[in-house]
Each structure stands twice: as structure tokens, then as C-alpha cells.
Structure 1
Amino acid sequence: MSSIIALIEYEEGWREKPYLCSEGYPTIGYGFKIGPKGAPINLYQFEISQSVGRLWLNEILADLQEKAFAHTEIRTAVAACNDARKAVLISMAYQMGISGLLKFRKALKAIADQRWSDGKTEMLDSRWARQTKKRALRHANQMLSGVWFDGY
């Protein structure tokens, strides 16, 4: 799981103090939502250390994978993937939630069928790709190549 940790750390960055994410949720650490959308950030008066953040991240990712793999569409796609490709799917579920990843029906099917180019195309034909262009492109290229992005 250490490579997926490095991927999430790279993509999310680290903040020890609460902040509002781009979607307006109070957030801390490696992109951990800590409150409802639109809640005033001044209600969150605490900090966490990076070591605590890493513990949270490990626990969150373990739970996320267990819940994500309970869905046939995700489990089937993951089964076709090497570790670099699997990490992309986990990262997408981390960022968008499992329900968000499940909306990528065509991409998941293409990935399950090992049609990597189609998977990349479907990943980039999305609201997610329009909102987080660089991240989506890195992930889509990693899905296509099956090789870890060099920056993690």
C-alpha cells in the first residue's frame, strides 16, 4: 500500500490546519473532509501532525478498498490491473468517493477488458477530468501505460 500512499500524498498535498477545499468542504491533512459543505472554517480550531495524518490515511484507504471492492464493477476492473493501475482506481475513489468512481461505467468496463486506451479516453471524457485536469491526465496516462508516474 506504500505506493498508493505516495500517490495520495502527492495528489492531495498536506495541510496540518483546516482549510476549505475547492468544493467548499472543511478539510484537513491529506484531503480529509471534516465537516459539511459551506461550514465556516473558523469552527475548526485544531491541527493534526503529519504522523497522525498518515495513520488516518492508512485506515481510510484500507476501509475504502474494502468497500470499493464489494462492488462487482470495481472489483472486476481492479482484477485486470497491475499495482500502478489499481492505484489509479483507488485514488479516484478516494477523491470522488466510491459512488463517483461507479459513474465511470464505460471506463471500468474498458479497464476490466484491458482496453487501456479506451479506459484512458473514458476517464478523460468526464466532469472529473475537466475539474482536475492535471491529476486526471496523470491518472489516465498511468492507466494507459501501467507504469507509475515518476513524480510520486
Structure 2
Amino acid sequence: MDLEQTKKEIKKEEGFRMEVYKDTLGFKTGGYGHKMLEGEIPPTDIAGWNKLFERDFARAVTGAEDVLMLCPNIHDTARHIVVEMCYQMGAYGVSKFKGMLKALQDEDYKTASVEMLDSLWAKQTPNRANRMSERMANI
């Protein structure tokens, strides 16, 4: 699966901030939406933030593979959307989307798109959730 487009989508959605700031949930964040870990020192240049992005992205891909274990025939676009979701909220967060994951298992992308919006995530980041849900619905 070619993930370069997925990286571009995440970077576009996250935006980039060189300086650490508090996100909408109060977490210290920087770069491309990187949640700073306890004791982690923020990078001082773009190369450092890019290195963190690549690490976070790899974790999102692995997380998506884990939550999609029961979805062997999933459409590539849906897989990429789940990677984006894992980047934003982690595999554990995405694993709570039981209705969406069941719909993906059934290759029912319209239902999956509806289930995506029935969530706290959609209430917290409605514009992003709506864009991603629309992409899911159009598979």
C-alpha cells in the first residue's frame, strides 16, 4: 500500500507548528500534531519534527493493521482513512469504533462512514471527521 498520499493528508489535516502548544484537549503538542510525551524534549528544527512524524506515522500504520486484522479485503482508501484516524487518536481509540470496524469487515463503507460520525471524535474535530467520513462514503 502506497502511504505517501496518506502522509500528505495527515500533514494537511494536522498543520505544522514549530513551537509546542496546547491542543484542544490540553495536551502539549508540536510539529505535525505530535503529542509530547512526558520528559520528551521538543525538536528545535523541522528535521527533528519530521523524524517524530515518521515515527508517529509508522505507529499509526501498525495500529491500523492491528485494528483491521479482521478486514482482509478492505479497500485501500478505507485502510488509509483508518491509518489517519490511528495517527490522530491511536489504535486504542480507533478500536472503540466497533460499528465502523464491523461495517469495514462487511465491506460496507457507507455504514462505516455513518458510524465514524457517531463518536466523541466527530464532536471534538467535526470538520476533519466529516471530511474523512465523506471519503469513506464515496468508496
TM-score by length of 2: 0.86
Counterpart selection for 1:130 from 112, 123, 133: 123
Q: Secondary structure at the match of 1:19?
A: strand
Equivalent-residue separation in structure 1 for 2:115 and 2:73 (angstroms): 19
Q: CA deviation at 1:15?
A: 0.4
| Coordinate RMSD, CA, aligned | 2.1
Which of 97, 101, 105 is 1:104 aligned to? 97
Q: Where does structure 2 lack aligned partners over 5 or more consecutive residues?
A: none
Aligned partner of 1:34 in structure 2 is: 36
Point out 4+ residue stretches in structure 1 off by more than 3 angstroms. Answer: 43-48
Residues 83-134 of structure 1: per-residue CA shift (max 9 Å, x gap): x221210111111111110010110110121111111111111111111111
Give me the TM-score of the superposition, normalised by structure 1: 0.80
Q: Percent identity?
A: 28
Give the number of aligned pairs.
Answer: 137
**AA matched with 1:121:** V
Who is 1:149 aligned against? none
Q: Unpaired runs of 5+ in structure 1?
A: 37-42, 147-152
How many angstroms does 1:67 deviate by?
3.9
1:117–1:57 CA distance, 2 compared to 1 (3 A)? same
Contact 2:20 2:28 in 1 (8 A): yes
Closer/same/farther in 2, CA of residues 78 and 25 from structure 1, 3 Å limit: farther
Which amino acid letter does the alignment assign opposite residue 74 of structure 2?
A
Where in structure 2 are the equivalents of 1:133-144 lying within 5 Å? 133-144=126-137
